[in-house]
Amino acid sequence: MNAVQIRTAFILGAGLGTRLRPLTRNCPKPLLPVGGRPLITFAMDHCLSIGVKRFIVNTHHCAAAYDRAFPGRSRRGAPILFRNEPVLLDTAGGLKNIEDLIEEEETILVYNGDILSDLPLSRLLTAHAAGGREVTLALRSNGPLRNVCLDARGEICDFRDLLGNPGVRRCLFSGISVVEKRFLRRLIPGKAESTIPVFAAMIREASGSVASVVIDEGNWEDIGDPEAYAQIVAAVPPLRYGDGCTAPEESADATNTILLAVPKGVPAEAGEDEVAFVLRTLGLAAGTRVELAQVGKGGSDRDYFRVAAAGGMPAILMRYGRMYEENDLYAAVASFLKGIGVRVPAIYGHDPERRLILMEDLGERDLYALRDAPWKIRRSLYEKTLALAAKMLSLSLDRLPAGLRLMPGFDANLYRWERNYFREHCVRNVCRIDLAAAEGEALEAELAALAGRLLSTPSVLVHRDLQSQNVMILDSEPVLIDFQGMRPGSPFYDLGSLLCDPYVSFPEKGRDELLRLYHGISHSQYPWDLFQEFFLLASAQRLMQALGAYGFLGLKREKPHFLNHIRPALENLIAVTAESGSLPRLHALASRCRDAVEIGDLRGFLKGINTKFEREDDRV
């Protein structure tokens, strides 16, 4: 049986690319760069290899970007017709919308614009000619979403389990099919609908009415999410079309290539390694100009750069040093958290040798930036943040994947280090209070008992720095950052970090309402009174750590703006120790520290520090 001749290829290009945001916020997914050129051009070249003469591409999201990518409206001499959908119509609706562009008895090739493949299309065409059906789908035996069911005869018997017929084998639909124009008559004009329920209805009416062929030869990649995209652009598979020739290369000045924004100059802080890494990760040709703008001053041996990109593909480049082991864990921890449903920045690429990470740009808004917003708005965001935290804090440690590296967990030694950090850098260095030996011993006994109580709670994964500046807000949803220090510990520690955060204030009863909310959604084993008691103890522990950090960073690291947070942190510590009632010595010491901060000579001391050094935008 001779293969059918295909004149027209319909490439699906109208989708929103939701799974690939923010890369697709201002760029259609099929126009994302791979190997220095738009992804869709690989699909076009694949189609050209079997004699396709023209392309039809449906558009919706950022439709004007296609005109910029294809100013001549052609690809290697083959004309491209763009059919815009003011309202997104999905696959079936998109096909119906181009019906008038198809000849009466024409056969067309339908090709998803977000896949990368060189499977032998000739086998699909031959199978379609042999079957004589309205539609023939190219299937794969393996893949991430095998939802096409085949019966014992090898015929499709179900899609997505819509018909309740599992058959004997499950395959993946490749996103490539051959369609007769008569199939389009089944579709309803203007209806936003996928082809899958249409196929299922056809099978329900007549078994075997949707044909298929399993083609496992060749490459097939779905650009599904930022991680998959980063892997593909880092190692583009060597595609071979038709007679075995390799996929044609783009010229260096190809008009179809989407480039990053023209730079105003790479800052001295970023060198050739950083630029080369960005180009490689984003799949851009060598020599493409990149703009890197340093973001803030960095902290904890990390520097950040915003990558400016035309076409709406913002990214953040993180460069980290060797001072802190936890920085090495960032990418792996991000991948793990994403896997359990905790929203974190997508990681586009990681070069552990050069200590570089390219990640999602989350913008500038965090819970701290919204500290003066109406409580109704803030409360909603805190509720969402607590829901995210619950996913992390409810995970049993025995469910952690093998090989996941974390920082050492909270134990008696770490709790001791935190309280000594507080006593040295806040009590002694900032507040200038020296405790008598007996007084210090009594305080140590009280704080050691506090640590013992926290160690009696279940050990779960904790962020360790879950405060307002580490919760970014993107599209009204919280995204966690600075999680590289995640470790086993008490869940109450993170709750204290978030709800007794010195950077922000809460309205009267606001904190209690949020804590009660978390008590409910977490299905805690503790009754409310005991749950609240553990929260107050953990909040006191966390506040000691924060106060130590403010003193250390403000004086030792000469970042005086951190000293401004000491007063509100002390007020919080005084409040939680008073409410707890079980930490009288810590309560008394926090009150003495507050009094010391209020005396005139210390205010002058802090003022002098603040005028001596330039303010920096670091985070604890």
Measured N-to-C along each axis, helices 584-598 and 566-580 cross at an angle, to the nearest 10 degrees, of 150
Is a pLDDT exceeding 90 seen at residue 617? no
Range 296-310 average pLDDT: 69
HSE, CB side, 13 Å, CA atoms: give it for residue 110.
Answer: 29
- Phi/psi at 343 (5° precision): -75, 125
Per-residue confidence at 271, pLDDT binned at 50, 70, 90?
A: low
Mean pLDDT of 467-483: 93
3-state secondary structure of 171: strand
Q: What is the pLDDT of residues 373-395, one digit of tens each?
A: 899 999 999 999 999 999 999 88
pLDDT confidence of residue 619: 36
Whether the CB-CB separation of 158 and 171 falls below 8 Å is answered with no
Q: Is 260 helix (H, G, I), strand (E, B) or coil?
A: coil
Tens of pLDDT, residue by residue over 98-108, are: 988 888 888 99
* pLDDT at 246 > cutoff 60: no
CA pair distance 484, 282, nearest whole angstrom: 24
Dmax over Cα atoms in the chain, in whole Å?
A: 97
Q: In this structure, what DSSP letter does residue 476 have?
A: T
Ranking 110-119, 306-315, 495-504 by mean pLDDT, the lowest is: 306-315
Q: In Å, what is the CA distance from 172 to each residue of 130, 153, 396, 403, 551?
A: 22, 17, 34, 30, 58
Q: Measured between alpha carbons, how far is 543 from 317 in angstroms, rounded to an integer?
A: 31
With contact defined as beta carbons under 8 Å apart, do 569 and 593 qualify?
no
Residue 454, amino acid: L
φ and ψ at 546, to 5 degrees? Answer: -65, -45
Asked if the domains at 8-224+235-246 and 375-398+405-612 fall in one CATH topology, the answer is no
pLDDT category, 296, cuts 50, 70, 90? low
φ, ψ at 109 (rounded to 5°): -100, 130
**CA-based nearest residue to 327, from 101, 483, 505:** 483
- pLDDT for residue 439 is more than 70: yes
Instruction: Locate 329 and state its tokens.
Output: 């864990």
Q: pLDDT value at position 237?
A: 76
**Residues 189-245: tens digit of each pLDDT:** 888 888 888 998 899 888 888 999 999 888 888 887 777 777 777 777 778 776 444
- Mean pLDDT confidence for 535-556: 95
Q: Which residues of 232-256 are buried (b: 16+ CB within 10 A; e: fewer)?
A: bbeebbebebeeeeebeebeeeeeb
Checking if the pLDDT of 54 tops 70, the result is: yes
Q: Would you kindly state where each structural domain of the chain is located, as residue ranges?
A: 8-224+235-246, 272-360, 375-398+405-612
Residue range 455-480: average pLDDT? Answer: 94
Residue 593 has pLDDT above 80, yes or no: yes
Asked if pLDDT for residue 348 goes beyond 60, the answer is yes
Q: Which of 493, 451, 490, 491 lies closest to 582, judged by CA? A: 451
CATH of domain 375-398+405-612: 3.90.1200.10
**Tens digits of per-residue pLDDT, 507-538?**
989 999 999 999 999 999 999 999 999 999 99
| Average predicted confidence (pLDDT) for the chain | 85
Q: Cα separation of 230 and 345, whole Å? A: 13
Class of domain 8-224+235-246: alpha beta
Spatial separation of the C-alpha atoms in residues 98 and 82, rounded to whole Å: 10
Tokens for 306, please give them: 């915003």
| pLDDT over 80 (residue 260) | no
The pLDDT of residue 242 is: 60
Contacts of 342 (CB under 8 A, 6+ apart): 388, 391, 392, 480
Q: What is the architecture, at CATH level 2, of domain 272-360?
A: 2-Layer Sandwich (3.30)
**Which residues, in sequence order, are bridge partners of residue 116?**
221
Helix (H, G, I), strand (E, B) or coil at 481: coil
The residue with greater pLDDT, 311 or 59, is: 59
d(CA 135, CA 206): 13
pLDDT band at 256 (very low <50, low <70, confident <90, very high): very low
Residue at 128: amino acid letter: H
Those residues with Cβ within 8 angstroms of residue 553's Cβ, 6 or more apart along the chain or in another chain: 559, 562, 618, 620
pLDDT > 70? residue 553: yes
Tell me how crowded residue 278 is: count the other CB atoms within 10 A of its CB: 25
Say how many residues make up the chain: 620
Displacement of CA 458 from its chain's centroid (Å): 29
Give me the pLDDT at residue 146, please: 87
Q: Residue 214 CB: number of other CB atoms within 10 A?
A: 18
Helices assigned H by DSSP within 394-527:
412-422, 437-455, 491-499, 510-521
Cβ neighbourhood burial of 605 (10 Å; 0-12, 13-18, 19+)? middle
Residue 179's pLDDT is: 93
Evaluate whether 41 touches 256 at the Cβ level (below 8 Å): yes
Contact in structure between 78 and 48 (CB atoms under 8 Å): yes
Count of helix runs (H) and strand runs (E) in the chain: 18, 25
Integer Cα distance of 334 and 345 in angstroms: 7
DSSP per-residue letters across 285-338: PTT---EEEE-S---SSEEEEEEE-TTT--EEEEEE-SS-GGGGGHHHHHHHHH
The tokens for 543 are: 């506040």
Q: How confident is the model at residue 480 (pLDDT cuts 50, 70, 90)?
A: very high
List, as one string, the DSSP characters of 77-123: TEEEEEEE-SS--HHHHHHHHTGGGS-TT-EEEEEETTEEE---HHH
Q: What pLDDT band is residue 551 in, cutting at 50, 70 and 90?
A: very high
Mean pLDDT of 299-304: 74
Residue 267: cis peptide before it, omega within 30 degrees of 0: no
Confidence of residue 2 (pLDDT cuts 50, 70, 90): low
pLDDT of residue 313: 64
Return the closest-CA partner of residue 4 out of 153, 175, 177. Answer: 177
Q: Classify burial at 206, counting beta carbons within 10 Å of its beta carbon; exposed 0-12, middle 13-18, buried 19 or more.
A: exposed
For residues 435 and 443, is the Cβ–Cβ distance under 8 A? yes
Tokens of 226: 């930022």
Percent with pLDDT over 70 in the chain: 89
**Spatial CB neighbours of 73, under 8 Å, sequence gap ≥ 6:** 67, 79, 80, 81, 82
Q: How far apart are CA 223 and CA 229, in angstroms?
A: 5
Banded model confidence at residue 299, pLDDT cuts 50, 70, 90: low
Could you tell me the two tokens for 354? 């050069």
Q: Other CB atoms closer than 10 Å to residue 197's CB: what's the count?
A: 13
How much is the pLDDT for 382? 97
For the packed helices 584-598 and 437-455, what is the interaxial angle rounded to 10 degrees?
120
Model pLDDT, residue 68? 82
Backbone φ, ψ for residue 107 (5° rounding): -105, 130
Q: Pull the structure tokens for residue 452.
A: 């013992």
Q: What is the pLDDT of residue 263?
A: 32
SS3 assignment for 556-598? HCCCHHHHHHHHHHHHHHHHHHHHHCCCHHHHHHHHHHHHHHH
